[in-house]
A = this chain, B = another copy of it.
Amino acid sequence: MFFHFKDRFPKLNTYWDKYLPFQKRVEAPAKTVLLQEGKISQHYIFIEKACVRTFFNNNGDDKTVQFFFENEGLSSFDSFMNSVPSSFTIETIEPSVIYLLPKQYVTQLIDELSHEPDFAQMILQMTSRRQMHYINEFVSIIRDTPEQRYQLLLTERPHIVQRVPQHYIASYLGVSKVHLSRIKSKLAKGKLRF
């Protein structure tokens, strides 16, 4: 969350350095639950090595919301900030190396940063990006067909297609795994034409 802004707001750099040591390194196998839907988020998560997904359960059916990779940080934002039960589960897809920063330190860090005028700018930048991300996802769903969305994944975020099992991608695209298989098959046939 915050550590990505190292060097972009140099005045704040000392804060990052001060809190990095409080992170706890964890090695976890694939399919490890880092935060269970319904529980209150207690850590900020930073990914050193892995692929992670967030999803929620709907009538026994997983709905994948987002994927995260190396050098990305995440939390169940609402749960973390407002101490409410998380709407999502966070789970590793691959064997992983992650760092956990307990909430108390994040809270403390935010309190300290509140006195820095640059902090407000940083938050505005950070949150406007997250917001744009979610708006873009939203827009993509109501504008594009699942086939178009899959092609966008292929061209713009190919690492997802390469590393993530297909049924997770299907649930992310909002279609059944059977239909995603059909889409792939159709695209493959299209490429074969000459």
Contact = CB atoms under 8 A, between A and B. Distances in A.
Interface of A: 56, 58, 63, 65, 77-78, 81-82, 87, 110, 113-115, 117-121, 123-124, 127-128, 130-132, 134-135, 137-139, 141-143, 171, 174
Contact of A127 (B63, B123, B135, B141): B123
A143 B113 contact: no
Interface majority SS (helix, strand, loop, mixed), chain A: helix
B138 A56 contact: no
Contacts of A115: 117
Given A114-B121, A120-B123, A121-B114, A65 B139 contact: yes
A78 B127 CA distance: 10
Contact of A130 (B131, B138, B174): B131
A144 to B, nearest CB: 9
